[in-house]
Structure formats: structure tokens, C-alpha cells
């Protein structure tokens, strides 16, 4: 039988409750519950550990990201979800003292290893960041830059086509088609973020990583991006880190909950938001502790 | 998983959920009283008590609307998830069952008035008393199981509905035989029949409440005989 504690006086406020004490006691020994693996995995991660110098940021995380699937990663600040996301296209390489262990592969190709060239890897695994960061160039050049340096297109006609297609897919074409030569930085925040998404898809990546792509945007721009994520899923595999639980619930098919560098639960998004398996997941998504 | 609705970071959210549950249980208490009064009014030919039941009915309708409104506000303001969401959903569903139980109580009260007007005590009162006791117990146990988040007791109570259904069917058979033997009694016995029918329906609604206890605590939807959903 379940216990009931409904008559909450001020004394029952968060800090001193036995339930939270129980949660704290279980933290030391967290094993991932749910279904972290899938049959048709685009990205396969096994026993991933990440260290920043002496500090371990990710503890033994194993997870698959399925093809044409949106996986949301949620968890309190500092839980390691962004660190984990950044392992997937080796963005952590740029951080001094950061060490990544474990097996990570993209369609069977190892992501880490002496022989792996990160430049084509990052063309295959694109990224969109929290703050829109267009280059200080024209809208056109922002999108054309990637295809140019990756040698995907050189002729103007080819580039024109890629730019238009990418902007269309990012849902921005109609708003910018008459001012492609204007600076990308002159667009609104939401438009800039969609420009960054257009820039990411211009190099025809297979995977798009998104690190809180909407946290700097207003609700309308956010809704546009969420709509876009759903459309992009047809052609791409997407991993998104978000602080908005509702966003995770809306855009993803699977949700992964991270806590103190450990992967606590991975399940179908429906399950996570209606009947999560792990009590830490339940506590987080219902706002029982921060 | 233990159920705790008092540990949100937002104390206001704790209070909102707590008062939603309290309101629902108060409505449950009111409806239980209505069913008891309606049955007593019938058994004791007390048309005054029956009239009172008909008046209180309006209060129950108001409770249902208030509960719906409060639940809607919680959804709009808090976007509840997991057990919080299940709590809100279960309250909305139970409020509807309670309101219908209230309707059935009113129907019984109307039969009580009709039967009192006719005078003589007809056949079938023993059956009414027997089934009424069973469904009143079911109803109280169901609400009690909700209060304590007690799945085991909810499942036990839920199973009692089968016996009520059996008793109901055998009472109907007996009354039909009686009507065939004495056609003059038909109009009176029909009132008894409708009363039994209402009681049987109240049992069904009590069963629904039990299913919501399971949904709230376990997250499993076992309605319409889907017990297999309970892991």
C-alpha cells in the first residue's frame, strides 16, 4: 500500500521531508530504468564516462538514439545532459581537460578515435545552440558557408538551391527571401535561431543536436521551432536538451532523464510524463525538488 | 511508488492539489449521505426525507461543476505531469461518477415518494435493503481507498460489484415472477425495480471510483475489464 501525506503544514516543506531523504539515499546507486536501447539506432552510446580533469561529469551512460527520432534529454542544471549531448559531435574536444571514455558510434562508425576526422563528423552531426549565433555575414552567406567549406557545392546555382532549400525547411524562406544580402544578425531572435537551423541543415547532416534551442525565444518563436523540429524528424535524427518539460513532452518520442551525471530513466515520452518508472524522474517532472 | 502530493517546490501547488482532493472527498461524503437518505426514505416511507434528498441534489451538481473548474485551473496554471496529472484526471472522472450516483439517489427518492403515496409496502423491500447495504459499503470503501491511496482495498471493493450484479439479477427475476402472478401489483413493483436498478448503477459507479484509485497510484487504466494493464 502506498503511504499518504497530504496534510502538508509548513514543516513538511521540501528540505526536511523523509521522501526527499529517501531520494537522496537512493542517489548513490542509480541504475538506468526503462528502455535505453532501440533496434534501429542511429547513434549508439555504451558505457560513456566523461571527466573534466578530476571531476567525473557523466557516469557510465548507455543510450541509443533511434533513426528519425527525437530524443529529449531533461534534468536539473548540472546533471550532465549538455555534456552528454556535446559528446555526440565531439564539441567537448574544445574544452581543456575534458576526457571522454566509452563507445560512441554513428551508424556503426566510431565517433572517437585517433583516425576520426572531426570536420566531416560535425558535418554529419550538426548543432544548434541555446543562443542564436549567426555569423556576422549576410543571411545568404550564413547558410552557404557550410556547403562551401565542406566542398558540397561551389557553383553559384548549386549554392542558391541549397540556400533556398535550407531556408525553406527551416521555415524562414518567405520571411527573408527578399533580403538575403542583409546581415543575419539583423533578424529577430526567433528568425536568427531558424537561420542557425537552416545553416545546420545546409550541409545535409544526419543528426541535429539542439542544446536548449528555444530558451532565448518568445512563445511564438518557440512554437515555430517546435513545429520545425517535428517536420525535420522526417529527414534527420534529433537529440534535444531542454529545460522545458512541456517542450520535451511535445517534441520528442523518447525522453531521457539525467541526474547527477547519471542516466536515470529512458522511456517513451508518453510514459515519462504520465507514469514514469523512477521516483527521481517523477520528482523532477512534477516539480517536487529542483 | 509512494504518493506524495505535499512536496512540490511550489507550496501553492501543494495546496491546490490538496484542496482539490478534499473537495472531491467532501462531495463523496455528500453523495454517500444522499444514497443512505434515499434508501431510508424508501424503507421508512418517509417522504419528507425523500424531498430533502431532491433538494440536496442541486448542491451535488454545483460540487461537480466547481471540481471541474478547479481541476481545469490546475491544468491551465501548473501543467501537471505524472502522479499530479493522474490525480487531477482521477478527480475529474470521479466527480462525474459521484454526480451520477447523486442522480440515482434522486431517482430512488422519487420512487420513495411514489411508493409512500401508494401506501402499502410492496414486495422487494428485503432485496432493496440487501443490495442497498452492499452498494453503500462499496461506495464508502471506494472513497476510503482513494483517501488512503490503497490499491489492494480498491481491487477488493471493485470485485464486490459482481456479487451486487448477481443479487440484482436474481431480485429482478423474482419480482418479474411476482408481477406475473399478481398483475395488479405491476405499477408498484416497477417502482421497486427502478430502485434496484438505481442501486445497481450506484454499485457500477463505485467500481469506477475503485478503478481511478488504481489509475492514480499505479498509472494503469483497468477500465472495461483491462486488468492486464496492471503490472
Per-residue model confidence as pLDDT tens digits over B60-110: 999 999 999 999 999 999 999 999 999 999 999 999 999 999 999 999 999
Q: Please say if the pLDDT value at position A44 is more than 90.
A: yes
Question: Which residue, chain included where needed, has cell 547513434?
Answer: A43
In a domain, B4, yes or no: no
Q: What is the mean pLDDT of chain A?
A: 89
In a domain, B7, yes or no: no
Strand A41-52 versus strand A98-106 pairing type:
antiparallel
| Three state DSSP letters for A30-76 | CCCEECCCCCCEEEEEEEEEEEECCEEEEEEEEEEEECCCEEEEECC
B118 and chain A: CB distance < 8 Å anywhere? no
Q: Extract the C-alpha cell encoding B163.
A: 456479487
B15 and chain A: CB distance < 8 Å anywhere? yes
In a domain, B207, yes or no: yes
pLDDT at residue A21, rounded to an integer: 52
Residues of A in contact with B75 (CB under 8 A): none
Which one of A286, A289, A290 makes the best mutation probe of the B interface by having the most chain B beta carbons within 10 Å? A286
Nearest CA in chain A to B88: A274
In a domain, A231, yes or no: yes
Residues of B in contact with A281 (CB under 8 A): 82
In a domain, A166, yes or no: no
Q: Is A67 exposed, middle or buried (0-12, 13-18, 19+ CB in 10 A)?
A: middle
Q: How far apart are CA A263 and CA B167, in angstroms?
A: 54
In a domain, A237, yes or no: yes
Query: Which among B10, B86, B148 is the nearest to A4, CB-wise?
Result: B148
CATH of the domain at B130: 1.20.58.220
Contact B78, B16 (CB under 8 A): yes
* Residues counted in chain B: 231
pLDDT band of residue A224 (cuts 50, 70, 90) is confident
CATH of the domain at A49: 3.40.50.300
* pLDDT tens column, B46-58: 999 999 999 999 9
Strand order in the sheet with A41-52: A55-66, A41-52, A98-106, A109-110
Total Cβ atoms within 10 A of residue A143:
32
CB contact under 8 A, B82 and A4: no
Q: Please say if the pLDDT value at position B6 is more than 70.
A: yes
B21 and chain A: CB distance < 8 Å anywhere? yes
- Work out how many domains chain A is built from and give that number: 1
In a domain, B23, yes or no: yes
Q: What are the counts of helices (DSSP H) followed by strands (DSSP E) for chain A?
A: 11, 12
Domain that holds residue B91: 12-229
- Work out how many domains chain B is built from and give that number: 1
Total Cβ atoms within 10 A of residue A11:
7
Provide the β-strand partners of residue B33. none
Alpha helices in chain B (DSSP H): 11-43, 47-78, 82-118, 125-147, 151-181, 186-218
In a domain, A201, yes or no: no
pLDDT at residue A10, rounded to an integer: 37
CB contact under 8 A, A19 and B7: yes
Q: Is the ipTM of this complex over 0.90?
A: no
Q: Using CB atoms and an 8 Å cut-off, which of residues 125-164 of chain B contact chain A?
A: 147-153
In a domain, B29, yes or no: yes
Quote the DSSP letter at residue A185: G
Least Cα separation, residue B148 to chain A (angstroms): 6
In a domain, B1, yes or no: no
In a domain, A77, yes or no: yes
Provide the β-strand partners of residue A237. A207
Amino acid at each position: 500500500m502506498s503511504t499518504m501525506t497530504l496534510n502538508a503544514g509548513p514543516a513538511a516543506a521540501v528540505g526536511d521531508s523523509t521522501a526527499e531523504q529517501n531520494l537522496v539515499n537512493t542517489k548513490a546507486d542509480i541504475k538506468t530504468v526503462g528502455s535505453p536501447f532501440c533496434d534501429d539506432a542511429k547513434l549508439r552510446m555504451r558505457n560513456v564516462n566523461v571527466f573534466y580533469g578530476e571531476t567525473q561529469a557523466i557516469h557510465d551512460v548507455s543510450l541509443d538514439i533511434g533513426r528519425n527520432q527525437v530524443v529529449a534529454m531533461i534534468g536539473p542544471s548540472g546533471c550532465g545532459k549538455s555534456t552528454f549531448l556535446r559528446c555526440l559531435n565531439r564539441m567537448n574536444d574544445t574544452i581543456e581537460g575534458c576526457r571522454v571514455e566509452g563507445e560512441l558510434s554513428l551508424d556503426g562508425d566510431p565517433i572517437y578515435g585517433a583516425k576520426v576526422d572531426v570536420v566531416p563528423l560535425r558535418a554529419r552531426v550538426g548543432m544548434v545552440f541555446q543562443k542564436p549565433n549567426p555569423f556576422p555575414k549576410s543571411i545568404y552567406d550564413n547558410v552557404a558557408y557550410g556547403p562551401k567549406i565542406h566542398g558540397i557545392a561551389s557553383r553559384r546555382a548549386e549554392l542558391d538551391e541549397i540556400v533556398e532549400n535550407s531556408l525553406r525547411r527551416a521555415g524562414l524562406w518567405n520571411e527573408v527571401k527578399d533580403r538575403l544580402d542583409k546581415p543575419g544578425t539583423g533578424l529577430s531572435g526567433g528568425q536568427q535561431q531558424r537561420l542557425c537551423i537552416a545553416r545546420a541543415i545546409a550541409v545535409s547532416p544526419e543528426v541535429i543536436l539542439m542544446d536548449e534551442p528555444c530558451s532565448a525565444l518568445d512563445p511564438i518563436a518557440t512554437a515555430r521551432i517546435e513545429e520545425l523540429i517535428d517536420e525535420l524528424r522526417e529527414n534527420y535524427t534529433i537529440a534535444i536538451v531542454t529545460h522545458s518539460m512541456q517542450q520535451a513532452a511535445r517534441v520528442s518520442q523518447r525522453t531521457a532523464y539525467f541526474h547527477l551525471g547519471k542516466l536515470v530513466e529512458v522511456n517513451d515520452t508518453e510514459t515519462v510524463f504520465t507514469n514514469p518508472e523512477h521516483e527521481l524522474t517523477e520528482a523532477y517532472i512534477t516539480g517536487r525538488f529542483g | 511508488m509512494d504518493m506524495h502530493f505535499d512536496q512540490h517546490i511550489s507550496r501553492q501547488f501543494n495546496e491546490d492539489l490538496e484542496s482539490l482532493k478534499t473537495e472531491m472527498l467532501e462531495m463523496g461524503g455528500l453523495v454517500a449521505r444522499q444514497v443512505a437518505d434515499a434508501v431510508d426514505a424508501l424503507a421508512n416511507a418517509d417522504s419528507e426525507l425523500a424531498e430533502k434528498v431532491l433538494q440536496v441534489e442541486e448542491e451535488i451538481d454545483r460540487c461537480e461543476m466547481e471540481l471541474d473548474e478547479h481541476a481545469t485551473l490546475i491544468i491551465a496554471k501548473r501543467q501537471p505531469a505524472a502522479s499530479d496529472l493522474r490525480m487531477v484526471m482521477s478527480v475529474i472522472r470521479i466527480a462525474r461518477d459521484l454526480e451520477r450516483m447523486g442522480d440515482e439517489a434522486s431517482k430512488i427518492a422519487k420512487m420513495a415518494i411514489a411508493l409512500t403515496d401508494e401506501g402499502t409496502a410492496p414486495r422487494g423491500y428485503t432485496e432493496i435493503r440487501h443490495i442497498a447495504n452492499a452498494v453503500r459499503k462499496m461506495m464508502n470503501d471506494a472513497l476510503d481507498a482513494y483517501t488512503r491511496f490503497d490499491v489492494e482495498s480498491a481491487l477488493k471493493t471493485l470485485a464486490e460489484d459482481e456479487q451486487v450484479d448477481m443479487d440484482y439479477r436474481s431480485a429482478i427475476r423474482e419480482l418479474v415472477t411476482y408481477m406475473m402472478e399478481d398483475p395488479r401489483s405491476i405499477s408498484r413493483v416497477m417502482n421497486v425495480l427502478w430502485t434496484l436498478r438505481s442501486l445497481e448503477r450506484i454499485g457500477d459507479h463505485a467500481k469506477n471510483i475503485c478503478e481511478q484509485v488504481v489509475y492514480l497510484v499505479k498509472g494503469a487504466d483497468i477500465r472495461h475489464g483491462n486488468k492486464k494493464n496492471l503490472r
